[in-house]
Amino acid sequence: MQSSTRFYILGIIFAAVWSSASVAAKIGLKTVQPLVLYQGRFTLAAVCMLLLIYLIQGKRLPKGKEWRQLALFGFMNVTLALGFFVYGIREVAAGIGALQVGLNPLVITVLAAIIARKKIPVKGVVALFLGILGVAICVYPLLLESYATPKGLIFLGMGTLSYSAAAVYYSGIEWKIDKLTINGWQSFFGALFLFPATFLAYDGSSVFNEYFFYPVIWLAIPLSVAGVYLWLWLLSKDTVRASFFLFLCPPFGLLYAYFILDEPFTLYTLIGLVIVMGAIYLGRVKAS
């Protein structure tokens, strides 16, 4: 009983932390360019994790083809997926970014079936359609009130596809190194590959004040380090029960956006949220 209570408490903490990414990014984007913000995030996260892995835990270095696998995973999962995300969230309400997080597992299910040339599960297709419908309902009034732009939504969509492709790639590899090491090196390579674009796009307009440093620290430590570690711990205990904590991400994210950023929460938002949560439930029931 005590173990079960701990599992659920940590699961709720995970969802609460994981859902804050969009709001933290929006705050950081007030004073710096998108790539500058995420360059700082993943550089700091990589340094912290690699120091922990090698100076404290004494893990082994990757070897052979593991370097290539980590580099490709970092490029797909960080450079592309989150590079697109941070450009998208600049032009889209933070609440929509939170809904995107909840939709990722549904896209992964369908994409994995396509890549494996397997029949796409009917429930998976229906769940994905409902998820997109729910997001569309949420987005409609935001587009009218300039809280979202078509370009921003396209960037978020590209980020979702990149993230899903990275997840499928990750699941197809028989990793011989532990998950924290994978996370540390994929953050390192992601930041490394992101740097040329950050350098070329830099225009000198960024202001490095508390609106930059606090979000970067939050995105790097609680999210990229602690959040990922906690998620992996939950999965190691019970994959099916852990996946249902994704239900909490959209409502947490929308509440953060409403109370912290003063973004609108309308009847459209509520209806879209209910549909998205229903889609996630349908998709995760299929997964279980």
What residue numbers bound the domain in which 267 lies? 2-287
Mean pLDDT of 3-32: 91
- Residue type for 104, please? N
Q: What's the pLDDT tens digit per position in 24-58?
A: 999 999 999 999 999 999 999 999 999 999 988 88
Domain count, the chain: 1
Angle between helices 21-28 and 210-218 (to 10 degrees): 160
Q: Is the pLDDT of residue 84 over 80?
A: yes
- pLDDT band (50, 70, 90) for residue 230: confident
Q: What's the pLDDT tens digit per position in 107-116?
A: 777 787 787 7
Enumerate residues 6+ apart whose C-beta is below 8 A from 105: 243, 246, 280, 283, 284, 287
Structure token digits, residue 15: 């969802």
Q: Cα–Cα distance between 141 and 148 in angstroms, integer?
A: 9
- Confidence (pTM): 0.85
Q: Is the pLDDT of residue 278 over 50?
A: yes
H or E element: which one contains 161? helix 150-171
pLDDT of residue 287: 47
Q: Cα–Cα distance between 102 and 45 in angstroms, integer?
A: 23
More confident: 196 or 245: 196
Beta strands in 51-142 (DSSP E): none
